[in-house]
A = this chain, B = another copy of it.
Amino acid sequence: MLDHVNIGILTSGGDCPGLNAVIRGAVMKGDRIYGVNFQGIRDGFRGLVEDDIRPLPRHDVRGLSRTGGTILGTSRIGPFGEGGGGSARVKQVMERNEMDAIIAIGGEGTLTVARMLHDDGIKVVGVPKTIDNDLSATDYTFGFDTAVSIATESIDRLRTTAESHHRCMVVEVMGRHVGWIALHAGLASGAHAILIPEQPVSMEQICGWVESALDRGRAPLVVVAEGFMPDGAEIVRDALDGFGRPRLGGVGEWLGPIIEQRTDIETRVMTLGHLQRGGVPTSYDRVLATRFGLAAIDAVMDSKWGHMVSLRGIDIETVPLSEGTADLKSVPQSRWDEAAVLFG
């Protein structure tokens, strides 16, 4: 590469612990080893489309590995949406800023956009971000460990109050399409039932697990992913409508009352929501995110356009974006069977 290389960085989609560590890793190595400049693109693709870009000197990434959120801001706006202007607009803004390449940090949606930009000749490298752990092209990404960690810590706290009152506790965690957070947080906290989108068990089964735990003198603990739907759920949800109650909340809020009604056990619901996204990343996520950032600038300098970084075992690799966004990584049957031994 030539002198005065400029690399734009953006973070897009929902925020995730570790984004700042990726930024720091890329900027530190880019500055020290490759001598390139960085440009911070504000609020994901919004900043790219609207030309909202600022210099990102090394000084600005100081101490970032241990901070949550993203100093660049994020949004869900994309260049291929209404008024986005597509690749042409992106090229125009890049030229105006003399930006040579882009490191795009984001989830399935962001990486798909990155792939489309690459198909149109834009130099882009991706860094996978998914708090839900639903990308098949990488063993894990940063954010997931922090989310599981916060969920587990929260559930530990909820258990003591449930046990004191002999109650059932239903804890709703993130996971609209896949159940990884529920599976790991449930395993870590010794849940009596883990409910995930991939496995639509029946209300009978759920209540059976709750009653079995209660019979052994435990305060039953149900960990449910937000995207879970019980087998025969239309009936369940019609019944709720029958009470004249619009469903405002998530799955936990309607599951709890049904469990209480059917098992006659006082039941409380907690939705962890945004708590799981926030705060200081775990050391695991900081290391992984830092390594991703270091590998991302390497990929840029290697001209691995249209690729994303990825974790395989304990190694960082790169894979084509087309591959990385092909499949949703859902919880396989074997992992469900492994965990289900501990239910009830």
Contacts and interface: CB of A to CB of B under 8 A. Distances in A.
A294 B275 CA distance: 30
A184 interface: yes
A86 interface: no
- Residue of A28, A148, A164, A341 with most partner-chain B CB within 10 A: A164
A1 interface: no
A166 interface: yes
A338 B185 CA distance: 31
A321 to B, nearest CB: 21
A32 interface: yes
Contact of A65 (B154, B189, B287): B189
Given A246-B246, A294-B341, A15 B164 contact: yes
Contacts of A249: 248-249
Contacts of A24: 190
Contacts of A248: 245, 248-249, 253
A330 interface: no
A11 to B, nearest CB: 8
Interface in A1-47: 11, 15, 17, 19, 24-25, 28-29, 32-33, 43
Interface in A145-185: 145, 148-154, 156-161, 163-166, 169, 184-185
The 9 tightest CB contacts between A and B, nearest first, are A157-B279, A68-B160, A157-B278, A69-B160, A15-B164, A152-B283, A69-B164, A188-B286, A188-B283
Interface of A is mostly: helix
B282 A149 contact: yes
Interface of A: 11, 15, 17, 19, 24-25, 28-29, 32-33, 43, 62-63, 65-70, 73-75, 139-140, 145, 148-154, 156-161, 163-166, 169, 184-185, 187-190, 218, 244-246, 248-249, 253, 268, 270-271, 273-275, 277-280, 282-284, 286-287, 290-291, 294, 312-314, 338, 341-342
Nearest to A33: B341
Contacts of A280: 156-157
A338 B29 CA distance: 9
B68 A287 contact: no
A169 B278 CA distance: 12
B287 A74 contact: no
A29 to B, nearest CB: 5
Contacts of A313: 139, 312-313
Nearest to A298: B338
Contacts of A287: 148, 184, 187-188
A76 B282 CA distance: 32
